[in-house]
Amino acid sequence: MVAYSILLERKILGSIQKRRGPNVIGFLGLLQPIADAVKLITKETIVPALANKTIFLFAPTVTLFLSLLHWAILPFNEYWVIADINVGILYFFAVSSLGSYGIIMSGWSSNSKYALLGCLRSAAQIIAYEVAIGLVLIGVIVVSGSLNFSEIVFTQQNGYVWYILPFLFFFLLFLISCLAETNRPPFDLPEAEAELVSGYNVEYSAMTFGFFFLAEYLNIISVCTVNVILFLGGWSFFGLSSIFFFSIKIFFLVTFFIWVRGSLPRYRYDQLMHLGWKALLPLALGLILLIIGLIFFIKSF
């Protein structure tokens, strides 16, 4: 999924920027991800002389491992899930919060000013936008009455309505917060090339850099999957249930992430913090209070 998400991104960005994109390795460039993987595997891993070597090499592994943990509780179809736990949303939220530790470890252990600034930005950004994500998730929990991802899909099936229709603003808030949470443009301040060269991963090479790359795209696909489960009816489509419909919805959301990268300029850091704390947070809190008030009002009759 990651390999061809990267290829998809390079193709779409090439089209947006009026160029061809990868088109040499294999038919239409379809073997380009394999060539990139071979290149990363065969390159030398360089560790800076003044870096904390143990933490420096451990950080990419932590980041990749935490990004893989999401997939244990994400259902792909009815009963197609590794661990169908009743606190799936809490688990997802906890693992997402831990994701910043790998980035902080990499930035600090590199003994580089650029890497340190990148990891500090990432920590501040994740704290700011996870609050908004948490409030959005509370709204879905209150309406569905469950923390289980499969149950949330079933409530949308039984109610014959996807949550995106009554909760469009929640969907938009969650989508914006996910862009910031995954360090994607226009919120890619932790690895801003123009300011920090490459941010927290500036000293990494070969597969240590590849692990960060894998983790980033795994996180993008996982948050798109959660978005589909919470707001787009999961694997259901007009009474039908199939992993095909589930995959198509994820594909469109991943494409949206790529389109945003090719279309919007990067935020300034003060604008990023202003949007998180002074715009999204009060808006999400207000919407939560409104929904809970409406539910109590309806139940009182």
The structural domains of the chain, with segments of one domain joined by +, span 1-42, 52-299
Entry field: residues in the chain: 301
Confidence band for 223, pLDDT divided at 50, 70 and 90 = very high
| pLDDT tens column, 200-220 | 888 888 888 889 889 989 999
Report, in this order, helix, strand and coil percent for the chain, each rounded to 5: 70, 0, 25
* pLDDT tens digits for range 243-275: 888 899 999 999 999 999 888 888 888 888 888
| AA letter at 36 | D
% residues pLDDT > 90 (the chain): 16
Q: For 236, list phi and psi in degrees, rounded to 5.
A: -90, 150
- Taking Cα atoms as reference points, which of 126, 163, 129, 131 lies closest to residue 144? 163
Query: pLDDT value at position 196?
Result: 66
Q: What is the pLDDT of residue 195?
A: 67
Cα gap 246→19, rounded to integer Å: 31
DSSP 36-76: HHHHHHHSPPP--TTS-HHHHHHHHHHHHHHHHHGGGS--S
CB 238 within 8 A of CB 156: no
Sequence letter at residue 103: I
How far, in Å, CA of 73 to CA of 81, rounded?
6
